[in-house]
């Protein structure tokens, strides 16, 4: 089907593919995993909030978890949805508001 030269050239030039954001349940699992790596446990409602609102990328999701864990550790704030709403920039809210 492909000759070897064309196939190699195709990969060397870059293969454009679309990568979609993972499903909400996977985003929740990823957020919990990141928090667990940092020796924290995310409350269910906060994990749900982060997964619902920080959807642009996994890096953004990781940054959100790390920000909340840092505020909890350094400033003694509660690890809660209220803290998340106060300190996270939520792309969905910006689009709707």
State the CATH number of the domain containing residue 76: 1.10.8.60
Is residue 73 scored above 80 in pLDDT?
A: yes
**What pLDDT is stored for residue 90 in this prediction?**
57
Number of domains in the chain: 1
Q: How far from 54 is each of 5, 41, 62, 65, CA to CA, in Å? A: 42, 18, 9, 10
Residue 13 lies in a domain: no
pLDDT at 95: 44
Q: Reply yes or no on whether the pLDDT at 92 is more than 80.
A: no
How confident is the model over 2-58, as pLDDT tens digits? 556 666 666 666 666 677 778 899 999 999 999 999 999 999 999 999 999 877 788
Task: Choose the weakest-confidence range: 16-20, 39-43, 64-68, 92-96.
Answer: 92-96
The set of residues, in sequence order, having a beta carbon less than 8 Å from that of 27 and lying 6+ positions away, is: 21, 50, 51, 54, 55, 58, 61
**Residue 94 in this model has a pLDDT that exceeds 50:** no
pLDDT of residue 22: 83
Q: Is residue 31 part of a domain?
A: yes
- Residues 69 and 76: their CA atoms lie apart, in Å, by 10
Q: Could you tell me which of 62, 15, 59, 13 has the C-alpha nearest to residue 38?
A: 62
Has residue 51 been placed in a domain? Answer: yes
In a domain, 26, yes or no: yes
Instruction: For residue 37, give its domain range.
Output: 21-96
């Amino acid at each position: 089907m492909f000759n070897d030269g064309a196939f190699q050239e195709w990969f060397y030039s870059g293969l454009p593919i679309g990568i979609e954001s993972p499903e909400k349940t996977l985003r929740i699992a990823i957020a919990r995993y990141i928090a667990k790596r940092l020796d924290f446990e995310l409350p269910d409602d906060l994990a749900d909030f982060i997964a619902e609102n920080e959807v642009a990328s996994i890096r953004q999701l990781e940054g959100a978890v790390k920000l909340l864990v840092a505020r909890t550790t350094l400033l003694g704030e509660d690890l809660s949805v209220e803290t998340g709403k106060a300190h996270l920039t939520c792309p969905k809210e910006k689009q709707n508001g």
